[in-house]
Structure 1
Amino acid sequence: MEFWKLQGSGNDFVVIDDRDNKVEDFLKKRGLSKEEFVKRVCAFHTGVGADGLILIKNPDNPENDFKWEFFNSDGSVAEMCGNGSRCAVRFAYERGIAGKNVKFETLAGVIKAEVLDKKVVKVQLTPPTKLEEKTLKIKEGEIRGFFINTGVPHFVVPVENLERVNVIKLGRELRFHEEFQPKGTNVNFIQPVSEDTIKIRTYERGVESETLACGTGATASAIVSYLNGLVKKKPVRVITRSREELIIDFSEDLKEVYLTGSVYKTFEGVLSEEIFEY
């Protein structure tokens, strides 16, 4: 089974063209669930290794270019993924599934995107939910942050020193906090560094660890930063853990939100059935 591996700002994904339903046929033949398939493929050391897996499907509406099924590395389904969407768009463009202007179907709605050049993709995300300020009780006291959904839920916490944050420990506590049950939330820690730039570190739901980048998290953090005066100008530049920049722009009413960044193809390959034998 052929696949591509692509990464956007260090967020890496296995992408498979499944318009012919070969994945479903393979799962039936081997008696595997889709969740187990994703876990095996995304596993580091024993699989390909990735933050998530994307299946490119035929669209429900022929006016759109394709539909995707997006999975976190733990096999769970996510409504949306900003960096994953940019990788999916480049894959579709390179494989002739779509042109430079793309529309594709997700659980969060139809996403529009544009291939600016071979390695830069801009996506228009769905409008976010209303920003909610929250002060939460945690083991070491209280923590103040902002909750917003930019396709998936995010809790954004401004900090004074980003490098000193224990992202995995505190991120996991907040990710599973009773305030966000039953589905939990992604958690972003941010630090402004100039009038239009912030740094970010993200604990990602479904990966259950810190990732090198998160597109919807960068978007949520940029919006939070602008609305709370942490930055004064937009577009907002977001420096990810991988040190690559994502550019977030949005209208004042937040009805139009754009995420732009680089996408790199790391390799093409063929999955061996031996991945699924142990």
Structure 2
Amino acid sequence: MSGGIEFTKGHGTQNDFVVLPDPDAALDLTPERVTALCDRRRGLGADGVLRVVRWAKLAGDGTVPEPVPGVEWFMDYRNGDGSIAEMCGNGVRVFARYLHERGWAPGGGAIGTRAGVRTATISGDTVSVDMGPVAIGPASVATTGGARFDGVALDVGNPHLACVIAADPDALDLTEPPVFDPQAFPHGVNVEFVTPLEGPADGGRVRMRVHERGVGETRACGTGTVAAVVAALRAAGHDAGDVHVTTPGGELRVTVDAGAGGATGRTVLHGPAVLLATGELDRAWWDAPA
């Protein structure tokens, strides 16, 4: 298999990714290649692609912010439909695990993303990522299956509409994208449906499902989990807390600090990140993925 394209397959709470190590930015990662990679019949199958690249090598890429001194690695994240995304919470945990296992950033460290720098810490099976503050926007509405759900716009480095609902999230049909206000979310939005907070702000629990922009329903969404917890805490009258979250893909935990001025304080996403396999893509397939 000499001359192939190296890859690793990994997941965070069953939100799965193809990891492409590309330290020197040599790969031409086109939308067509991303779509083919993520296709579960003609490719490896994944919710998205994580390209591992040195930030300094991306100079001149208009989709990438200027490198931050001292931050070597950049997470170039692509949705399964080939579109570029600002941030992915489960993806950054898998990315941090990959850097750790390769010996490129043992124990975690600062990672560049299109949403800014995120710092990861690895302790055993758990990867914790400082997701920064969450900007709290206006109320909005999501409609799915003919039912309307009130929600709140939240910015976790990417756009979210988090709806705290009395209905059972498991009963919702998310095979089609929820309908939202395109004027409020001109670039699309990730939509979360989350149960009201059960228990105290510290140690309480919620359940959720998510429909991701550019992907569809996924087993979990890291930034969506943060958005869901912020919305559930606010709906319960809290501005801070430490909440356990049950997703279809597994368990996560989110810590939210109190903030001011229309934003939370620091938020931290805690959860597993698993690397499953490493191999090589056939070069001929890469050159003609369609």
TM-score, length basis structure 1: 0.88
More helix by share: 1
Matches of 1:217 and 1:109 in 2, distance apart? 17
| Residue 17 (1) aligns with residue 27 (2) | no
2:159 to 144, 153, 158: 153
Query: Shift of residue 275 of structure 1?
Result: 3.0
Of stretches 228-237 and 106-115 in structure 1, the one that deviates more from structure 2 is 228-237
In 2 relative to 1, CA 136–240 (structure 1 residues): closer, same or farther, beyond 3 Å? closer
How high is the sequence identity, in percent, across the aligned residues? 29
Partner of 2:132: 126
Query: Shift of residue 70 of structure 1?
Result: 0.6
2:208 to 184, 188, 200: 200
Query: Shift of residue 157 of structure 1?
Result: 1.4
Partner of 2:191: 187
In 2 relative to 1, CA 129–233 (structure 1 residues): closer, same or farther, beyond 3 Å? closer
Matched letter for residue 40 of structure 1: A
* Kept in 2: contact 1:114–1:122 (CA 8 A): yes
* Kept in 1: contact 2:89–2:269 (CA 8 A): yes
Of stretches 190-199 and 105-114 in structure 1, the one that deviates more from structure 2 is 190-199
* Kept in 1: contact 2:226–2:269 (CA 8 A): yes
Where does the alignment leave 5 or more consecutive residues of structure 2 unmatched? 56-66
Matches of 1:271 and 1:138 in 2, distance apart? 38
| Residue 259 (1) aligns with residue 263 (2) | no
In 2 relative to 1, CA 240–142 (structure 1 residues): closer, same or farther, beyond 3 Å? closer
Partner of 2:78: 71
Query: Shift of residue 111 of structure 1?
Result: 0.8
1:211 to 209, 218, 222: 218
Partner of 1:54: 50
TM-score, length basis structure 2: 0.84
Matched letter for residue 207 of structure 2: K
Matched letter for residue 266 of structure 1: L
Query: Shift of residue 62 of structure 1?
Result: 4.7
- Count residues in correspondence: 264
Of stretches 91-100 and 128-137 in structure 1, the one that deviates more from structure 2 is 128-137
